[in-house]
Amino acid sequence: MVKVTYIAHDGTETTLDGAEGDSVMATAISAGLDGIVGECGGSMMCATCHCYVDDAWSDRTGPRKDGEDDMLDCAADDVKDTSRLSCQIKLTAELDGLVVHLPSSQL
């Protein structure tokens, strides 16, 4: 299992165990975590799984995938250098302990 800590806009931290190969979004959705909607189910057709990768982890999650910038243009909250679609971040052993921050709104 790969641990991911989600930090809500109000500072509330939730740490979940995800399976290698699952996405940061799928892990949150399957646990019923508020703050990630994932309307398109992870097919990169919306921005309702927008997150901010913690600065300490941004190099390890890799660059944005092709098309991710286009979808982030539709994000409800500010897009930053560390903005990612959480459906595009696949969990690996190297990401154990990953920290992501959630925006104030997804819709």
pLDDT in 10s for each residue of the chain, 107 residues: 999 999 999 999 999 999 999 999 999 999 999 999 999 999 999 999 999 999 999 999 999 999 999 999 999 999 999 999 999 999 999 999 999 999 999 98
User: pTM value?
Assistant: 0.96
Instruction: Choose the CATH number for 2-101 among 3.40.50.300, 3.40.50.720, 3.90.76.10, 3.10.20.30.
Output: 3.10.20.30
- CA distance linking residue 60 with residue 33, whole number of Å: 23
Q: Are 107 and 37 in contact (CB under 8 A)?
A: yes
Output DSSP code: residue 3.
E
What are the sequence ranges of the domains in the chain? 2-101
Burial class (CB in 10 A: 0-12, 13-18, 19+), 65: middle
User: What is the reported pLDDT for 31?
Assistant: 98
User: What is the reported pLDDT for 107?
Assistant: 85
